[in-house]
Amino acid sequence: MKIDEAPWRTRVLRAPLGWWRARDGYVKDGALAALLTVLAFVPTLSAIGAQLGDLPVRRADALGVALTLAQCLPLAIRSRWPALCLAVVGTAFAVHQTLACPPTFGTVGIYLALYAAGAHQVRFRGGLVAVSTVGYAALAVVLHSLGSPQRALDYLAFFSALALIWLAGTGVRRWRAEEAERRRLAAEVATAAERARIARELHDVVTHHVTAMVVQADAAQFLLPAAPERVTEGLTAISGTGRRALTELRYLLGVLEATGESASADRARADRAPALGKVVDLVEQARLSGQPVDWTEQGERRPQAVDVELAAYRVVQEALTNALKYATGRRTAVLVRYGDEHIEIEVTTDGPGDGRTATAPVPTAPVSQEPRIPGPSRVPGPSGGRGLNGLRERVRMLDGELVAGAGPDGGFSVRALIPSRPAQE
């Protein structure tokens, strides 16, 4: 039986690469300088080094060794102080060529130092280019005066190669800057999206429950002199509404604290999440607040993904909140239809002229002593406020559609079509 060794070999190779990538840049520079220093004294690699003057080679001595080290060791600071690294390596290279020291692979250091300067130098880049160009021209003049067989075109070709190396480093620097800018913009967009999501959640939780509690409290005040035995029922409704608000706020805080986790990752937190199965609680809460609500559920309800369940719940919640705020006491119908591919939600509130207006199970009083605005003018427009706009965005993110607008009788309707996404076991 033949065993495939490819995965094992891949793991063996990935381990040292991962370790190397995790090292600090200064450590990598030091390792590069040490490696080049070792290779500089390998005789078989001496012909690969950079050679410019082609002057008669002098005997190897301590000065030649020192110049070789001066072209290798400064690479350890090429990322931290690229201009200083280029100055030391460039000077050592020029002296090495002028004195016709034995060729060495260490002269490759001029290429590495020049690339590092193009990639890492921040200030005085133009000045560094000008000084380097003047220095190279001076070196060419000195080599020519010493009898170098190189022609002007040879010096120009070598200078062109150095310029290309500088431009390569500059290109990498520009790419890194653009990549950093993209990451910054992406972080800003993600932050703004997260703030908008938190604002939508807080609006949905606070507005709905506070509206219900205000209506229930005003109803209790209205009942106090007329039917004091029914005040307990109103206070119980207020207490239940407050507890539901606290439960949703705890869920929201749990999601915010779970950095990098999805809401469905924690089973306990997911169980506290508003879901389709809890829509009936919204209906009962609205009824306790004095709003006559008809509840209809069609089709087989199946567990959906957390974001789908939450979006459907928020649609019903926002629609009932608007009904309590703008059409108190008018009949409201909630329909949730479960299909194979979509979940359809429709919440309609009758207008003031509809003869089907029902009597609220709990009498309600005006929320304040200010004059009440007539019903039709208090119905929210098709564009809606923060709540409806936030719902449109939430449903759109799920590839769904939400339409809200006034009806011909002065009522209001909210319709949403959300694609089904069954929960994964």
What's residue 202's pLDDT?
A: 73
- What whole-number distance in Å separates Cα of residue 193 and Cα of residue 2? 52
What's residue 304's pLDDT?
A: 84
What's residue 359's pLDDT?
A: 40
What's residue 358's pLDDT?
A: 43
What's residue 280's pLDDT?
A: 85
Report DSSP letters for 171-218, one per residue: HHHHHHHHHHHHHHHHHHHHHHHHHHHHHHHHHHHHHHHHHHHHHHHH
Assign residue 273 a region (left: φ > 0; alpha: ψ between -120 and 50; beta: otherwise): beta
Q: How far is CA 120 from CA 19, 26, 114, in A?
A: 23, 13, 10
What's residue 271's pLDDT?
A: 54
Closest CA to 374 of 318, 330, 316, 317: 330
- What whole-number distance in Å separates Cα of residue 63 and Cα of residue 103? 13
Closest CA to 164 of 208, 201, 114, 210: 114
Successive 10-residue mean pLDDT values, the chain, 425 residues = 52 63 78 90 85 84 91 91 93 92 91 93 90 92 89 91 93 92 87 74 69 70 67 72 72 61 47 71 81 88 84 86 81 89 90 52 37 38 57 85 82 89 70
- What whole-number distance in Å separates Cα of residue 84 and Cα of residue 385? 61
- The whole model's pTM is what? 0.56
Do residues 70 and 88 lie in contact, with contact meaning Cβ atoms separated by under 8 Å?
Answer: yes
What's residue 14's pLDDT?
A: 66
